[in-house]
Amino acid sequence: MPKVALRDSLLRRPRRLRRSGALRNLVRETRLDPGGFVAPLFVRSGRGIREPIPTLPGQMRFSPDELGREIDDLQALGIQAVLLFGIPERKDPEASGAYADDGIVQDAVRMVRRWHPSMVVMTDVCLCAYTDHGHCGVVTDGRIDNDASLELLATTAVSHVAAGADVVAPSAMMDGQVGAIRDALDASRFDETAIMAYSAKYASSFYGPFRDASGSAPQFGDRRSYQMDPPNVREALREIALDVGEGADIVMVKPALTYLDVISAARAAVTLPLAAYWVSGEYAMVKAAVAAGWLDERRATMEVLTAIKRAGADVIITYAAADAARWLGEEAT
Ligand code: PBG
């Protein structure tokens, strides 16, 4: 090859900035921080219970007292927010366990509030774990009744906040749910409580392990009449715009890894904080491949979380929050 041509093409050498760990770190465009993680936690009734969830390796169902211990560990790792999911003892058509004053989430929130005052306590607001049919709204004549569900969702949100929740996260994908909850919170003088809206929540196969964990699988049909159709991205922007208009404080895209393009489009479309949920099945895929010896857990997990952040998420909801925070701490030392 003639010498001059070689020089021309090699004037710019991107490899110069990849020569050492320190140089790579210096020019890194995306950094993870445990302060932006939310750890999802499952809570059930009882005492002294830490029940491993087979479909979600590393995750447990905690009784409220054990939840406190877990949150101690999370706080020590720099995690400042948890998202609580309740597993009730009884289910009925009206989802009464969702908004009972002595419901499992309400009890857990009071416990966390008392012992961990600085932890941001978020609660998932949905009916699917509390209805005997497993749908996210009430059923009238075999159909998921949007407007009849709004009042129950709003009542649920108010009861979570009355117990001490800082942020409520409506995930039922009922039209108008954010506005209904905002109105109900304001009417109860909870005007300072934020709403993190599951705005673009897709009807995904990747929620399977979560439904095992919380016993919330639908007993008939599926969720495609209310959760979003996976091929759509413009519709996600419409959902997000509606939630912003109804008073959402944080909007969310879910799942995360299989919807990075939606995260990126949402980032360009809104100025509100954007959350993304690396859901149960996406996490379980990595865990299964790690168990088979096919992937390196630390590298695969950090690569996924970095990709979600790079796509534009400010807040990452992840079952790997504790592991990732620990690994970030090790890098820093
Ligand atoms: C409740 C809810 C679900 C998830 C979060 N909130 C399940 C569903 O919609 O079926 C999924 C979370 C996960 O898979 O990690 N509606």
Please tell me the CATH code under which domain 31-332 is placed. Answer: 3.20.20.70
Per-residue pLDDT band at 4 (split at 50, 70, 90): low
Of 34, 31, 30, 180, give the one whose Cα is nearest residue 120: 34
State which ligand 1 atom lies nearest to the alpha carbon of 217: 10
279 C-beta closer than 6 A to ligand 1: yes
258 C-beta closer than 6 A to ligand 1: no
User: pLDDT of 201-244, one tens digit each?
Assistant: 999 999 999 999 999 999 999 999 999 999 999 999 999 999 99
Per-residue pLDDT band at 7 (split at 50, 70, 90): confident
Give pLDDT, residue 8: 79
207 C-beta closer than 6 A to ligand 1: yes
37 C-beta closer than 6 A to ligand 1: no
**Between 321-332 and 64-76, two packed helices, what is the crossing angle to 10 degrees?**
20
The answer, yes or no, to whether residue 11 has pLDDT greater than 70, is: yes
Residue 193 CA to ligand 1 center (angstroms) comes to 22
User: Which pair of structure tokens corresponds to residue 223?
Assistant: 């969720």
* Catalytic residue selected from 91, 254, 287, 309: 254
Output the CA torsion sign for 182, 188, 275, 42.
Answer: negative
By most ligand atoms within 8 Å of CB, the mutation choice from 216, 254, 283, 287 for ligand 1 is 216
Report the share of the chain in percent with pLDDT over 70: 98
Residue 25 CA to ligand 1 center (angstroms) comes to 35
Give pLDDT, residue 331: 83
- pTM of the model as a whole: 0.96
Query: Does the active-site annotation cover 287?
Result: no
Residue 86 CA to ligand 1 center (angstroms) comes to 12
User: pLDDT of 88-147, one tens digit each?
Assistant: 999 999 999 999 999 999 999 999 999 999 999 999 999 999 999 999 999 999 999 999
Contacts of residue 287, Cβ cutoff 8 Å, sequence gap at least 6: 56, 57, 58, 297
Give pLDDT, residue 199: 98
